[in-house]
Amino acid sequence: MDRNTTDTVEFADIEAAQRRLDDPRVVKQTPVERSTSLEEMTGAEEIQLKLEHLQWTGSFKTRGAYNKIKHCVGEGGVEHVVAASAGNHAQGVALAATTLGVDATIVMPENAPQTKVDATRGYGATVELVGDDFQAAMEYAQRQADGDGVEFVHAYDDPLTVAGQGTLGVEMHDDVPAADTVVVPIGGGGLISGIATAFAERNPETRIVGVQATGAATVPESLEKGIPQTLDSVDTIADGIATGGISELTLSIIEEHVDEVVTVTNSEIAEAVLLLMERAKQVVEGAGAASVAAVIGDDLDVEGEVVVPLLCGGNLDMTMLRAVLIHALTQREQMLRLRVHIDDRPGRMAEISSVIAEHDANIHTVRHDRAVEDLDIGEAYLVFEVETTGSGHARSVIDAITDHGYPVDVVNRVDAS
């Protein structure tokens, strides 16, 4: 069933979705939790984290998928649904379809996190891995949706999907009716479209801010040009918002109801993931942390406001968690890789190791590098991987090695990409 591009989403559609989402085994009300730590960091009067990552399947996606599939089942003739997803929509469709007694085939990119692939299969769907990214998976999935009794469940370009996500906006308003600013991650735009439509009805004075990953940002250019823009490739650790495109439907709603769109880098997302674990005791994926990355960043002023950042997903693959932690710890200079230039003589490693130990830094690994082009005969590099407590501690270790007469470089500094 193709969507008419003139379709839009009204608040009445969200109300209808609320009536359909009547099974607490599929969609539950998720809590909010105040973060005084983030308030101190940002100057906000109050920050209430919306913990949607605690939803069944670990994300909001089940709301839209269930609304779409239940509507189609109610109209009759649907026996099989097909969808494309990088992971969270896949699980939402799988759970919704299984609950409603419908077969589901989900097409996911070949590089989709294995945990999300396994979870999707665990919810009862057939999974096919196709292509290098979401767009390739989407093209293949749409070709599989031809035939009687087969319905394609789009992740964002469908009024029923958007209306289902809009139920989260109603919930957020009911949670924090005095919210000055609501911050929502954007992939294809279905989530923010639904939430913005809900707030436009319930409290149009609330500022709606969208957040995209810098390496997958399509909305700023789409707004500038007035038509949806698509990226040939994406580069972000936030796979949940790495769609690389939006639709006419979502762009039109963003234009009408979203007040501001900002972007955040991989480094900022990684820092937000780590911050949420440390301060809020919440484990979220990159997409879920994007809202907090924006709130603590320089491009969004929330001083004196009541702010609701949405933690939209918690399906964090352990391999990605390791990469995020290494990245964030490196950014904080809690993990240093030091290259020390030495005369290649016995005792140098022990001497420098003792200097590091005297400053209470822990050496994880050390190696000699001798086959390096810029070294002369009789010279070498010692490369230490060192754990510190932060930037100040790191600087004291580096200064101590330098004071002992050894040139030292930090070779794992993180850029802001």
Smallest CA-to-CA distance from 210 within 346, 310, 97, 342 is with: 310
Burial class (CB in 10 A: 0-12, 13-18, 19+), 354: exposed
Please list, in sequence order, all residues whose beta carbon lies within 8 angstroms of the beta carbon of residue 403, skipping any fewer than 6 positions away.
none
Q: Is residue 415 part of a domain?
A: no
Q: Are residues 295 and 402 in the same domain?
A: no
Q: Are residues 123 and 167 in the same domain?
A: no
Q: Which domain, by its residues, includes 406?
A: 334-410
Q: Is residue 1 part of a domain?
A: no
pLDDT in tens, 102-115: 999 999 999 888 88
Q: Are residues 26 and 75 in the same domain?
A: no
Query: Among all chains, which residue has been given the structure tokens 């352990």?
Result: 318
pLDDT in tens, 112-151: 888 889 999 999 999 999 998 878 898 999 998 887 899 9
Provide the CB-side half-sphere exposure for 244 (13 A, CA).
17
Q: Are residues 252 and 178 in the same domain?
A: yes
Q: Are residues 17 and 94 in the same domain?
A: no
What's the start-to-end Cα distance of the chain, in Å?
A: 40
Q: Are residues 400 and 285 in the same domain?
A: no
Q: What is the maximal distance between C-alpha atoms in the chain? A: 81
Under a CB-based contact definition with an 8 Å cutoff, are residues 386 and 377 in contact? no
Q: Are residues 169 and 208 in the same domain?
A: yes
CATH number at residue 88: 3.40.50.1100
Q: Are residues 54 and 201 in the same domain?
A: yes
Instruction: Write down the H helix ranges in 145-236.
Output: 159-175, 190-202, 219-225
Answer with the one of 124, 152, 180 that is the final residue of a domain.
152
Smallest CA-to-CA distance from 190 within 167, 158, 215, 223 is with: 158
* Per-residue model confidence (pLDDT) at position 414: 56
Structure tokens that stand for 281 in this block: 């005791």
Provide the CB-side half-sphere exposure for 124 (13 A, CA).
16
With a cut of 50, which residues of the chain have pLDDT below it? Answer: 1-6, 416-417
Phi, psi of 84 (to 5 degrees): -120, 140
Answer with the one of 301, 328, 355 that is the final residue of a domain.
328
Q: Are residues 174 and 148 in the same domain?
A: no
CATH number at residue 353: 3.30.70.260
Rounded Cα–Cα distance for residues 403 and 219 (Å): 51
The total domain count for the chain is 3
Q: Is residue 186 part of a domain?
A: yes
Q: Is residue 5 part of a domain?
A: no
* pTM of the complete model: 0.88
Q: Are residues 323 and 403 in the same domain?
A: no
Q: Is residue 79 part of a domain?
A: yes
Answer with the one of 328, 363, 382 that is the final residue of a domain.
328
Q: Is residue 256 part of a domain?
A: yes
* Per-residue model confidence (pLDDT) at position 317: 85
Q: Is residue 39 part of a domain?
A: yes
Rg (CA), the chain: 24
Q: Are residues 67 and 48 in the same domain?
A: no
Please list, in sequence order, all residues whose beta carbon lies within 8 angstroms of the beta carbon of residue 187, skipping any fewer than 6 positions away.
155, 156, 212, 216, 240, 241, 242, 243, 287
Q: Are residues 186 and 307 in the same domain?
A: yes
Q: Is residue 83 part of a domain?
A: yes
* Per-residue model confidence (pLDDT) at position 91: 94
